[in-house]
Amino acid sequence: MKILLSVELHMLLLLYIRLMLAKDILASHRDKNQEKWEKDIRSAASLDELLMLTDFPDWKLWRCRLKLKHVDSTSPPELRSTSAGSHRSTRFAANSYSLEILKAIDEEWQKTQCMPRETCVDVAKELGTTTAMFFKPPCVSVFRCNGCCNKEGVTCRNTSTTYVNKTLLSVIPFEYGPEPILVKVANHTECKCQEPQMIRRHAHPQSSRCSPSRQSGDPRRLCDQGFIWNCVEARCVPYPSSNIEISPTRATEDCEIDVEKCECISKETVPKQQSPLCPSNYTTCATKSRQVNQT
């Protein structure tokens, strides 16, 4: 009798152990499934995908709305009858409030996607110029990749880049300026969420730090009239958008501009006066390592 009881207890113990092991296995599978489900939800790339994964009550309604919207946008105008629109609005009238909420969420989602966005970049940092030189305006408007990625461990990066010309004024106090210059700045055209090892670097086309050197006989200018300093080629070039033929002599050499009448007055008729603050004198003296005596 004791032996039989001992065998039964042993069998019950084995059964209990098997049940516990099965429970642990099921819990492990459940945890893995939950982890995968959570990962899929976090990686959802659209509102439609998120609603489907979570079995959202109005998911099918939203899917139908997207399909109808696509049909309306691709159908010829003569097939877009008012009766069809009325029929659809009647079918979904009870759920219009829910659709409006989902529409607002979807619009916000689309705005935050990884894409080229217009932004401002600091010219001095972009070109790596010395602190002695500054630019006006100090920033330029270009497109750069920005936005949210749906997966962890990836960031919004550019996959295609062009370089655009920007015309600015550069100044180095007591040396020259303001002087028009031409610079090239990176402009992102395509973006993608990428892992760090997949990021492609784009070499900057500028080999120098934009260090202009005087190529004009006028101490107040770097380049002759009608030309502009090109930071990439490191020389004075004709302004790209200018179709005007540049004369070797300037029309204003023998006249003084009257800012009130906007006329050119002969220098011979203009009384010679020394301006109390004449920037050109400061520049001229600075190039000769001297200072202006205002008296």
- Residue ranges of domains in the chain: 39-74+93-111, 115-243
Please tell me the predicted confidence (pLDDT) of residue 207. 44
Instruction: Choose from 54-68, 145-159, 254-268 the range with maximum mean pLDDT.
Output: 145-159
Q: Which tokens belong to 279?
A: 């920037």
SS3 state at 58: coil
Per-residue confidence band for 94, with pLDDT thresholds at 50, 70 and 90: very low
Check whether 277 has a pLDDT greater than 50.
Answer: no
Task: Report the distance separating Cα 52 and Cα 63, nearest Å.
Answer: 9
**How many other C-beta atoms can be found within 10 angstroms of the C-beta atom of residue 272?**
5
Q: Determine the average pLDDT of the residues in 278-294.
A: 59
Burial 118-138 (b: 16+ CB within 10 A, else e): eeebebbebbebeeebbbeee
Q: Determine the average pLDDT of the residues in 152-172.
A: 90
Q: Determine the average pLDDT of the residues in 227-234.
A: 84
**How many other C-beta atoms can be found within 10 angstroms of the C-beta atom of residue 49?**
15
pLDDT digits (tens, 9 = 90+) for 24-76: 677 666 667 788 878 888 888 888 888 888 888 788 888 888 887 766 566 56
Fold of 115-243: Cystine Knot Cytokines, subunit B (2.10.90)
Q: Which tokens belong to 154?
A: 């990836």
Please tell me the predicted confidence (pLDDT) of residue 12. 75
Check whether 144 has a pLDDT greater than 80.
Answer: yes
Please tell me the predicted confidence (pLDDT) of residue 213. 76
Q: Which residue has the higher pLDDT, 192 or 61?
A: 192
Check whether 19 has a pLDDT greater than 50.
Answer: yes
Q: Determine the average pLDDT of the residues in 192-203.
A: 66
Check whether 93 has a pLDDT greater than 80.
Answer: no
Instruction: Choose from 20-24, 91-95, 115-119, 289-293 the range with maximum mean pLDDT.
Output: 115-119
Task: Tell me which H or E stretch contains 111.
Answer: helix 96-111
Report in angstroms the alpha-carbon separations of 281 from 193, 277, 295. 55, 9, 13
Per-residue confidence band for 242, with pLDDT thresholds at 50, 70 and 90: low
239 class by beta-carbon count within 10 Å (0-12 exposed, 13-18 middle, 19+ buried): middle
Please tell me the predicted confidence (pLDDT) of residue 139. 94
State the average pLDDT for the chain: 75
Q: Which residue has the higher pLDDT, 104 or 95?
A: 104
Please tell me the predicted confidence (pLDDT) of residue 147. 93
Please tell me the predicted confidence (pLDDT) of residue 275. 46
Task: Report the distance separating Cα 154 and Cα 72, nearest Å.
Answer: 36
